[in-house]
């Protein structure tokens, strides 16, 4: 813009207040509407997801925004002030239902919201009325709540509190922070993340990596000569660092939380659509936890109870199993998947719910053997090479 103004010269006149507010603004609105039409045309061909999010502004209004996502991109639709009705599941249902009507039920595959009790009720009512779509709670929110529930277990809660206390003490005093940077080669202990519990996990991870340096720091002459070492909080920090049980509990906590944080990063990232990977990611997370404790069930039984409660009751839907089945990366590397009754039943559930005509349903069922046996295009060398490098649906664009 600056280059264009400079090229024009000193006689360029700026647009008037009226021109900016009326004709130029209207021109931009028309241009934006034209861009959005191309998106809307694809919804009927590929299906789309309605996503909602809410937050409180500085006036403590509860603002709810709606977006429509499909494989080629995500489009903002609108935002509303839901302060008066956000606690009511029935009112949220009416709002979601009107949006589905506006976009077209035949175009909507799923509606994604928070998993609060008000949204759960709204989702159930929506699925009862709209028989050709799914309501799904936000995966990132569910995984974060899963991690939060695990963080309430006494051993893990105590470990996190001790770790946060240690980091807080070091960073609240310039002399201890300077000493830390001296012994860790200027490496920091704090790593901020999207959620509070993920930040706590990352801080514990950093503490564990710098365990040796921290022990050297708190047994050094520099620390002994520091007046902080004589104070109650300084003595408590020293005790935390030198006590073996603390580090044992840190290792336990990391074994439990690391696989789930990995899943959270997957579903909260934007590098690829996560739907086709959640089912596998959750299975791998549980397998990793089991192996880290040498399959001693007593070590992780409470953890699995929490995971299963959130996964089974709030997050898992037939769409996850169907996307898992139709993801070539996983299907062709697991020959037994075809005989997994749970996954197969949920695939058929998706076909019945999402496909509205019997003829199309039968056509899908007749073509499934081609996919299963990697026949025709599924068996092409290009398709085989893309199984682990391309997200399902990505090649369409």
Q: What is the pLDDT of residues 375-396, one digit of tens each?
A: 888 888 888 888 887 777 664 4
DSSP string, 92-157: HHHHHHHHHHHH-GGGEEEEEE--SHHHHHHHHHHHHH-TT-EEEE-HHHHHHHHHHHHTTSHHHH
Euclidean distance between CA atoms 17 and 239, whole angstroms = 67
pLDDT at 191: 65
When comparing pLDDT for 38 and 147, which is higher? 147
Stretch 96-111: mean pLDDT: 93
Stretch 96-123: mean pLDDT: 91
Tokens of 173: 């005093």
pLDDT at 194: 56
Taking 70 as the threshold, does the pLDDT of residue 195 lie above it? no
Euclidean distance between CA atoms 300 and 288, whole angstroms = 11
Beta bridge partners of 73: 70
- Residue 136's nearest CA partner among 163, 104, 96, 164 is 96
Beta bridge partners of 111: 50, 135
Type and span of the H or E element at 69: strand 62-70
Taking 50 as the threshold, does the pLDDT of residue 397 lie above it? no
Euclidean distance between CA atoms 275 and 167, whole angstroms = 36
pTM: 0.79
Taking 50 as the threshold, does the pLDDT of residue 50 lie above it? yes
pLDDT at 33: 87
**Start-to-end Cα distance in the chain:** 31
Residues 6+ apart with CB under 8 A from 293: 255, 299, 300
Tokens of 161: 């509190």
- Residue 312's nearest CA partner among 115, 69, 77 is 115
Euclidean distance between CA atoms 246 and 208, whole angstroms = 10
Tokens of 393: 């649906």
Stretch 85-96: mean pLDDT: 92
Type and span of the H or E element at 70: strand 62-70
Q: At what angle do helices 174-183 and 154-171 cross, to 10 degrees?
A: 100
* In the chain, ranges of CATH 3.30.420 domains: 17-137
Dihedrals φ, ψ of 112, to 5°? -110, 125
Euclidean distance between CA atoms 342 and 278, whole angstroms = 16
Euclidean distance between CA atoms 67 and 53, whole angstroms = 9
Q: What does CATH list as the number for 17-137?
A: 3.30.420
Euclidean distance between CA atoms 63 and 61, whole angstroms = 6
Stretch 198-206: mean pLDDT: 85
């Amino acid at each position: 813009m600056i280059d264009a103004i400079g090229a024009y010269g000193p006689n360029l006149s700026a647009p008037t207040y009226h021109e900016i507010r009326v004709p130029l603004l209207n021109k931009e609105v028309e241009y934006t509407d034209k861009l959005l039409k191309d998106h809307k045309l694809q919804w009927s061909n590929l299906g789309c997801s309605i996503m909602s999010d809410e937050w409180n502004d500085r006036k403590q209004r509860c603002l709810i925004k709606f977006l429509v996502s499909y494989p080629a991109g995500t489009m903002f639709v609108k935002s509303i002030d839901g302060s008066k009705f956000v606690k009511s599941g029935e009112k949220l249902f009416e709002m979601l239902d009107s949006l589905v009507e506006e976009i077209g039920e035949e175009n909507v595959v799923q509606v994604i919201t928070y998993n609060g009790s008000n949204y759960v009720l709204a989702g159930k009512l929506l699925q009862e009325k709209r028989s050709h779509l799914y309501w799904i709670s936000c995966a990132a929110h569910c995984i974060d709540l899963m991690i939060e529930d695990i963080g309430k277990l006494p051993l893990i809660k105590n470990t996190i509190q001790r770790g946060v206390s240690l980091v807080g003490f070091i960073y609240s005093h310039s002399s201890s922070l300077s000493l830390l940077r001296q012994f860790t080669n200027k490496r920091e202990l704090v790593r901020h993340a999207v959620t509070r519990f993920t930040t706590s996990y990352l801080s514990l991870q950093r503490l564990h990596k710098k365990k040796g340096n921290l022990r050297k720091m708190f047994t050094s002459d520099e620390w002994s000569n520091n007046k902080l070492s004589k104070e109650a909080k300084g003595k408590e920090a020293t005790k935390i660092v030198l006590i073996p049980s603390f580090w044992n509990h840190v290792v336990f906590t990391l074994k439990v939380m690391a696989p789930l944080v990995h899943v959270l990063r997957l579903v909260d990232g934007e590098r690829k659509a996560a739907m086709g990977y959640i089912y596998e990611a959750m299975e791998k997370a549980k397998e990793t936890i089991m192996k880290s404790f040498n399959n001693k069930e007593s070590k992780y039984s409470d953890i699995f109870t929490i995971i299963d409660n959130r996964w089974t009751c709030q997050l898992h839907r037939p769409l996850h199993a169907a996307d898992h089945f139709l993801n070539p990366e996983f299907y062709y590397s697991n020959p037994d998947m075809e005989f997994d009754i749970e996954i197969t039943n949920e695939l058929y559930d998706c076909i019945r719910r999402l496909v509205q005509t019997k003829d199309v349903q039968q056509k899908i069922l007749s073509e499934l053997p081609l996919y299963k046996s990697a026949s025709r295009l599924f068996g092409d060398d290009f398709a085989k090479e893309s199984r682990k490098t391309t997200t399902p649906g990505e090649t369409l664009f």
